[in-house]
Structure 1
Amino acid sequence: MSTSFDKFQKRKLISSYFSVTLSIALILFLLGTLAFVIVNSQKLVNHFKESLQVNIYFSATAKEAEINQFQKSLAMAEYTKSATYVSKEEAAEKHMKELGENFVQYLGDNPLQNSIDLYLKADYVTEEQLADIAIELKGATFVDEVAYNIPLVSMLNDNVKTITYYMLIASGVILLIAILLINSSIRLSIYAKRFIIKTMQMVGATKRFIRRPFILNNIKLGMIGAIIAIAGLTACMSFLDKKYPNLELLNNIPVLAGIFGGIFIFGIIISWLSTFFATQRYLNLRTDDLYY
């Protein structure tokens, strides 16, 4: 009979440990994901900004030597990420593939112009700086037009400000929820042992002596939960890095180490604090109050 009861108690204890560890792991995974998004948000924003294309079209009278010299000077400009020359024949071929028909044969002539596809560094993708760059580029007599999507630039910068604002609010809310959920999980596990705590206190054990094994045990669970969360984050980031290699998500080792270290330390601290206050609560209760 006692053996069956011991097995039941052991299964109950393991189940309690498992639920606490899983709760901590899931919440730390969520926090780690949020931290990863916040840290890499600027990189994502820069990626979209640097994908904005500025088309520089040359007049029909522009000489090849002038265009080559212009492209070289453009490549050396502080705002340039890349500058690729596109001849009107290459542009026509690209358009024919997109349209699925030979419009040059239909028109009898190629109406397109020689051009350069310019991509700017993220810091220069603002309405004001793009306007200044366009004026500078139009200063060359053989440049016919400088075109880019003005509404897209405005929308991109406005959305960045809005997303950053809401992300900060979401971070605070999620952090608060994480603390409350981890605290709740640990308090429930301590609640199941409230009579053991009170019994130990009644036989003369000090509060510090009673708290110590609970704190150490839950710190271990917090560490295990943090390790599980870190493993999950690593797997997710590896998947994203393979799918979007241009973002270079795994290249910044110090940032990754900071996020993983922060998750591990947070798991330990919140487990320690939650256990301390949960055990302290039952240590301060009268025996009669344990039943409510």
Structure 2
Amino acid sequence: MVYSLLALDLDGTLLNKAGVVTARTVAALQRVRAAGAAVALCSGRASYSMRGVEAQLGFAPFVVSFNGAVVHAPPRPSDNAKSSDNSADNSSDSPDNNAKTLLFRNEMTPAQVSQVLQAANAMRRAVNYYGPDSIYCVVTSDEQRALAHRYHLLTGATYEFIDDYSIIQTLPPKMLIFGHDPDIMIKYLRENTSGLALIKDDWFVECLPPDMNKGVGFTKLCQALNIPIEQTIAFGDGWNDMEFIAAAGTGIAMKNARQELKDIASRITEFTNDEEGLAIELENFLSKGLFGPKN
């Protein structure tokens, strides 16, 4: 058996601490694709906040974004072909989310949005409200603005600072509440909201539709590609990778991963994301001929 789908978390896995995909990693991913396997990026980030990473890869991968709530396929060659020439700028490898095919999307309901906003207001916290192309945010203090800026630096997300969330006309795939006490925030949210999926990080909590997580989005992608789950391999490092790593045929935790993820992973990489741990693992699998098209 070979792996026909390689799925990768971004921060702490594909990216080093500088937010860079190393040349060695890019070369390994190109070899995976040349062997006939598909490559997917699976992140908590918004789809539009992943474009910079795609540009570093030099090709358009499949994209599972918003912690599984949205799944895109790369554009087909005909979608980007120029009528007059075959410029590489418009090839099927051009990393442009706007040209991708939507495979799956799950949005929060108006009632769920209202619950999150009410809870955040009670806790006096700022909220990321994810719009179609940017993040809407109401900030009422320097601390809240600093946290939004920190998130911008981490993900490259574009912000629109507004005075009132009621002006937004679209429903989000997820929302995010800032705060350095995620355990307390999750406790309050569980007591004051109904059925939301909650995912914590060190300085924020993400709120999604019920039963939504990266594992769900990853499974939706496998179904769309008709790839058996046992022919998939995934790499991750964080709390939001738990269901994702558990769902894959082979789920691998980075050496720098949270212990909770290491405890459920099939194995752990020998090196961290800053030591090109992913590239080393992929090179090992490639040397054994373990990547290829689906059977």
Q: TM-score over 0.5 for the alignment?
A: no
- Structure 2 length-normalised TM: 0.21
TM-score with structure 1 setting the length: 0.21
**Greater helix share, 1 or 2?**
1
Q: Which structure ranks higher in relative contact order (CA pairs < 8 Å, sequence separation ≥ 6)? A: 1
Larger strand proportion, structure 1 or 2? 2
